[in-house]
Structure 1
Amino acid sequence: MTRFLAGSLGGLVLVIGLLAPAVAEQLAFNRAADYPGSGFSPRVIAEEADGDLLQRARERLGQRVRRHPGDTEARLLLGLIHFREGDYAAALESLDEVVRRAPDFQLAHLVRGDLLLSRSRVVAGLGGNGVAAAVEGEGDLSRNALRAEARARLEGYLETLRTARVPAALLQLSPENPVALLVDKRHNRLYVYERRGDGRPPRRIRDHYVSTGQARGDKEREGDLRTPEGVYFVQEFLEDGELPAEYGLGAFTLDYPNPLDRRRGKTGYGIWLHGTDRRFFSRPPLDSEGCVVLPNLNLQDLRGSVSAGTPVIIAERLDWIDHEQWRQRRRAARQAVEGWRRSWEAMAVERYLAYYDADFWSPRGERARWTDYKRRVLATKTDQAIRLERRALLAYPDSAAGRAGNLVVARFRQDYDSNNYRGVMDKQLYLRREAGDWSVLYEGPAP
């Protein structure tokens, strides 16, 4: 859920229409302490970026705008880069188009105001144009929040250009759920990847700015205001008519807490990927109670490709690997799942049960109880065939795996046929790799 603090501002002076009315309301919603050290001007947002990177950013953003003229973030970032480089005419052209297309985009109005006033005097920092500063005290709160959003948007986008490798999490996507979402909390970025098949790495198709929990770190307990980290799956989409206004256009519900979260004693619920209150275009980087929050425009963009079962990987910082590493890790995980399946199908009891980790658990209980159950069941079999379809392999983020080590979530449809039982179910395994050996840490139904 997104935080909304009660409050209003009186006597806001609107100058030449630089700020939309929604900006005034936004000023009261954020504490300056949430965004320490965020005082910077649009000129120096990208100061650490080299010229080649900025040139690539300019070219890529230009391509985005040509393909999708309604891409307001691309136009905003182009304006920031032009402003950084002193090309005021190009910057103003980009920002004029942003505010025309998205009149509720508070950050765009603020940057545009700085740009116009910088022609006549020095602007001390983003929001230092005298309009937001007209309200003493509370005006600083909004400026700090919008500064943080500007930095997060531009640095997050530049990070996408530095990242030419493959996300380590996406070892295999299923044909039934060919799209995956990855959330990089550090860079406030959501990446959308799609399956290509034929043993090739997935392809990035777009990325968006997101807001995450007010408190940094992995979620541990209910009310800690943190966004959880791990491998999750979309359960359903809730329309805006079913939800309070703060969820915007709607929400994709997630299966937090997942089996590993529950095993670790984590608590909380209602961690969703949702839109923004319609009064606002977007929220500051650290502003939710644990959910991942997108501008409504971007949430709508996901509606056509995200469905029940879509993987959502959330990490403090995503792990990236080169193509050869991806192929090796994918092959190793596939072989582990296939070895488990074959030993079970062959009724090689000892070899099959040796796949289960000493720390294994399932809805039926711990390892000892599980192995006793499996021995009894296998003793009744004379033949069996096991087919695994719709396979997905998703590596757990390093930052979230913790003491569990190298983890991969395998999700598939299991078609089981034996002399005395026939059944189909969606299942998931949590596989752990230690010193090159794979074991099953968890087995249970897929959500």
Structure 2
Amino acid sequence: MNTIKTFLQILLMASIMVPWNVPALDRLDYTGTLSNSSFGPNYPESLVVKGLLQITRGQLQQALNTVDELISIAPNFKLAYLIRGDLLMAKSQQLEGFGNTPQNNSPSVEDFKAEARMRIERYLESHAPQGIPEPLWQIDPTQKYVIVVDADKSRLYLYQNIGGKPTYVADYYVTIGRNGSEKSSEGDKRTPLGVYTASSKLTSKLPDFYGSAAYPLSYPNEWDRQQGKKGHGIWLHGTPSNTYSRPPRASDGCVVISNPDLETLGPILQQGGTPFIIVSQLKWVTQAAPEQPQLQKALDQWRQDWQAQDTDRYLSHYSDRFFSQTSDINGWSREKRRIQSDKKPVSIVLSNISMIRYPNSQIPMAVVSFDQEFKSEFLDSRMRKRQYWIYEGQRWKILYEGAA
């Protein structure tokens, strides 16, 4: 019995951040539903953790039964077969480590270790994340859902917008780029960090490699392009039909999720335009960031100065580093001074405002989106606009502005 624990000790003690000890294990109820699972007792991930915990308690036959149940539900779950192989071998010989069978090569076993570790770490945490992801400053009231990916923990979090408050729904194991995150160039096999949107499902038939569906992400965004970042074709997609899940770092840059989980997300994603934030070192907060009301005030003052046609005050809201699709701050200023020279009365109303702190930025930055209604003597227009605001010189200023 002690020898079968060896692979868990190697798996967890050497690299896991949470100590593998009895108090930690006691936070999970392996006899029934895992106490912190949002998926229920028969969800494949729940069964993986349940089986591993049964092994640590010396319940080898129960663990084998659990793994067999898992395989019956997800017959393409390769990690389950590795655990099953170890359990069967334990009956006839000493085990020295995880995946200790002659046919297993070291790289694939390391991948299985990493996947098991990521899944166990999630279940050593509380039932649901305490607080909300720090980048979610304000959600557009018309936006029903938002997705946040923690690249470090290979985890996708789904939040529902209830009364303007992001409310946790569920989270899922995902795969990111084999070289990690912070994509910057074509072919670097990294997943980008930033604020994106997921478009609706691709309708063209794709190779089996991409699983049951694929949803393109809006990489590169305006800020990515301004920084000279390259690459394209970053999707949220599924797994091949013979694979339930892939290792934590195995994609060419896409975010990869199991087909059953992707199908669960399908009705949400199919509408298109779902905010999709990818973060490194994701933090959780229980109260609003102090910068958010400052940004809200700056946004409203920008609107007032524009409506008042006070061109100098209006332009003072723009950074010297400002850029748009077609201009820099000099060209933007010339055009605005020309347009506002006659001081004709205008009405400007902003609604459905979203504010998302830009993740992992070297300077404080937020992406602000809103519906803009502009009326003047000669023009009546409505549009969805997106701005990037940065904090410089002790105040928020606009770095980018354009149609969303």
TM-score by length of 2: 0.89
Q: Separation in 1 of the partners of 2:128 and 2:163?
A: 25
Distance 1:68 1:156, change over 3 A: closer
Give the aligned partner of residue 215 of structure 1: 179
Structure 1 residue matching 2:312: 3-state secondary structure:
helix
Unaligned runs of 5+ in 1: 1-39
Find out whether 1:91 has 2:63 as its counterpart. Answer: yes
1:190 alignment partner, one of 146, 150, 156: 156
The alpha-carbon deviation at position 331 of structure 1 amounts to: 2.3
Q: Separation in 2 of the partners of 1:267 and 1:327?
A: 32
Find out whether 1:413 has 2:371 as its counterpart. Answer: yes
The alpha-carbon deviation at position 285 of structure 1 amounts to: 1.4
Distance 1:66 1:439, change over 3 A: closer
Residue range with higher mean Cα deviation, 54-63 or 353-362: 54-63
The alpha-carbon deviation at position 66 of structure 1 amounts to: 8.7
The alpha-carbon deviation at position 65 of structure 1 amounts to: 6.4
Contact 2:189-2:251 within 8 A present in 1 as well: yes
The alpha-carbon deviation at position 100 of structure 1 amounts to: 1.3
Amino acid at match of 1:363: Q
Give the aligned partner of residue 343 of structure 1: 305
Find out whether 1:42 has 2:8 as its counterpart. Answer: yes
The alpha-carbon deviation at position 304 of structure 1 amounts to: 1.9
Give the aligned partner of residue 330 of structure 1: 292
Q: Separation in 2 of the partners of 1:294 and 1:421?
A: 46
The alpha-carbon deviation at position 49 of structure 1 amounts to: 4.1
1:104 alignment partner, one of 76, 82, 88: 76
Give the aligned partner of residue 242 of structure 1: 205
Give the aligned partner of residue 168 of structure 2: 204
Q: How does 1:47-58 map to 2 (within 5 A)?
A: 47=13, 48-58=19-29
Contact 2:28-2:35 within 8 A present in 1 as well: no
Contact 2:33-2:41 within 8 A present in 1 as well: no
Amino acid at match of 1:207: D
Amino acid at match of 1:298: D
Contact 1:271-1:291 within 8 A present in 2 as well: yes
Give the aligned partner of residue 189 of structure 2: 225
Amino acid at match of 1:301: T
Percent identity over paired residues: 35
Distance 1:436 1:252, change over 3 A: same
Distance 1:291 1:441, change over 3 A: same
Contact 1:257-1:266 within 8 A present in 2 as well: yes
Unaligned runs of 5+ in 2: 1-5, 14-18
Higher helix share: 1
Structure 1 residue matching 2:195: 3-state secondary structure:
strand
Amino acid at match of 1:293: V
**Structure 1, residues 320-370: CA drift from partner, whole Å, max 9, x if none?**
33x23x253432332222222222122222211110011111113100110
**Structure 1, residues 401-443: CA drift from partner, whole Å, max 9, x if none?**
12xx011101122121111111111111101123641000110
Contact 1:53-1:161 within 8 A present in 2 as well: no
**Structure 1, residues 52-75: CA drift from partner, whole Å, max 9, x if none?**
443334489525769645521122
Give the aligned partner of residue 231 of structure 2: 268
Structure 2 residue matching 1:211: 3-state secondary structure:
strand
Contact 1:57-1:161 within 8 A present in 2 as well: no
Distance 1:418 1:52, change over 3 A: farther
Contact 1:231-1:313 within 8 A present in 2 as well: yes
TM-score by length of 1: 0.81
The alpha-carbon deviation at position 213 of structure 1 amounts to: 0.8
The alpha-carbon deviation at position 275 of structure 1 amounts to: 0.5
